[in-house]
A = this chain, B = another copy of it.
Amino acid sequence: MNIICDKSKLIEGINIALKAIPGKSTMAILECLVLEVKDNIIKLIANDLEIGIETTIDGQIIEEGSVAINAKVFFEIIRKLPSDEVTISVDDNYVMNISGGKAKFNISVKPTEEFPFLPQIVKNNNITISQFSLKEVIRQTVFSISDNENTKVMTGELFEVKGNKLKVVSLDGHRISIRNIELKNSYDEVSVIIPGKTLIEISKILNGGMDDDVNIYFTDKHALFEFENTIVLSRLIEGEYYKIDKMLSSDYETKLTVNKKEMLDCIDRTTLLIKESDKKPVIIDIKDDSMGFNMNSSIGSMNEEISAIKEGKDILIGFNPRFLMDALRVIDEEEITIYMINPKAPCFIRDKEESYIYLILPVNFNV
């Protein structure tokens, strides 16, 4: 192999591939990325078996070839080269020579036989969504996946396509986050569970452009995300997702409209009195046109009141403050509406169009 390429473009490419490099692995080959120069294309490939990434970069190809190199070592060396141009060659003994300016590195690399290349995916069933929408919808839901591997389905997110609607759902047993997005086109029905960790890594790679599209292809076992020079392949989580429609309700006894930032700041202040191990609820007292927040802990107590517009009954209800904050932080609207039935029933934060629904279970408390 022998190529010459632009340092900044190579760094960009490695940075993308690094998202599929595990922090520590018992298999050294998984800590490697494959540099594949073939058919006039320079490709970087990484695969931690949950998520696989291929990305291409521009460059001048003098000789083709393919080797595996420790991804982090490669990244650090390229990043610190003193020149804008990088020359990479590999000799027959699998020694890679990396040179830029007067700096010359010789690094042992590996053949690619042991490397788990990405499987070929039949590109039938797909949808198209803007990078912006995909990045946003992940941010707005992924916080309420569970990290408990015993309930595997909860560690992923439901992606459900019906016609021109995409519904994304996550839940962890205490709360449900739902986002409904309108797509530009109509598609066949799809219902898959994508691992939350994959989605987090994908959202880091996405530039978030409104005008840049992502094609997502679905098979029985995989979802393939294709955008710009990059493809990301994720395994799907097997099993059936929860029937969330049964858990939703449009009944309410109390409907409250409130300034989101004021509410978020109040709850944030109540958490100052909670030590890490504590599980103290914030007690919310809705009376007339005010919303009061109360916290009592071993450190002390706090209370604060903000104004709100109420329809229906007064209510005194307790919540895990972090769950409320997680939802409020990803809602972009200035004003939000909260629907409650009683102190034991789930509360709903949702907009009229149901473009978002956040269900949060209340917690018991002693007054």
Contact = CB atoms under 8 A, between A and B. Distances in A.
Given A103-B303, A106-B301, 10 more contacts: A77-B272, A80-B269, A82-B265, A102-B306, A104-B302, A105-B269, A105-B302, A106-B300, A107-B299, A108-B299
Given A265-B82, A304-B102, A76 B108 contact: no
A222 to B, nearest CB: 34
B299 A80 contact: no
A14 to B, nearest CB: 14
**Which of the four size classes fits the interface of chain A?**
20 to 34
Given A73-B299, A299-B73, A272 B104 contact: no
- The winner among A103, A272, A303, A305 for most chain B CB atoms within 10 A is A272
Interface string A294-320: 000001111111100000000000000
A268 interface: yes
Given A73-B272, A272-B73, A302 B80 contact: no
Nearest to A78: B272
A266 interface: yes
Contact of A272 (B80, B108, B266): B80
A54 to B, nearest CB: 25
A300 B103 contact: no
Interface string A216-258: 0000000000000000000000000000000000000000000
Copies of this chain in the oligomer: 2
A181 B81 CA distance: 37
A268 to B, nearest CB: 6
Contacts of A82: 265, 269
Interface string A146-190: 000000000000000000000000000000000000000000000
A266 B103 contact: yes
Given A102-B305, A102-B306, A305-B102, A80 B300 contact: no
Contacts of A301: 105-106
Interface string A177-218: 000000000000000000000000000000000000000000
25 contacts: A70-B299, A73-B272, A76-B272, A77-B272, A80-B265, A80-B268, A80-B269, A80-B272, A95-B300, A101-B304, A102-B304, A102-B305, A103-B269, A103-B302, A103-B303, A104-B302, A104-B303, A105-B269, A105-B272, A105-B300, A105-B302, A106-B301, A106-B302, A107-B300, A108-B299
Contacts of A266: 103
A171 to B, nearest CB: 30
A335 to B, nearest CB: 18
Contacts of A105: 269, 272-273, 300-302
Interface in A314-344: none
Contacts of A269: 77, 80-82, 103, 105
A290 to B, nearest CB: 10
A106 B300 CA distance: 5
A103 B305 CA distance: 7
Contacts of A300: 95-96, 105-108
Contacts of A107: 299-300
A99 to B, nearest CB: 10
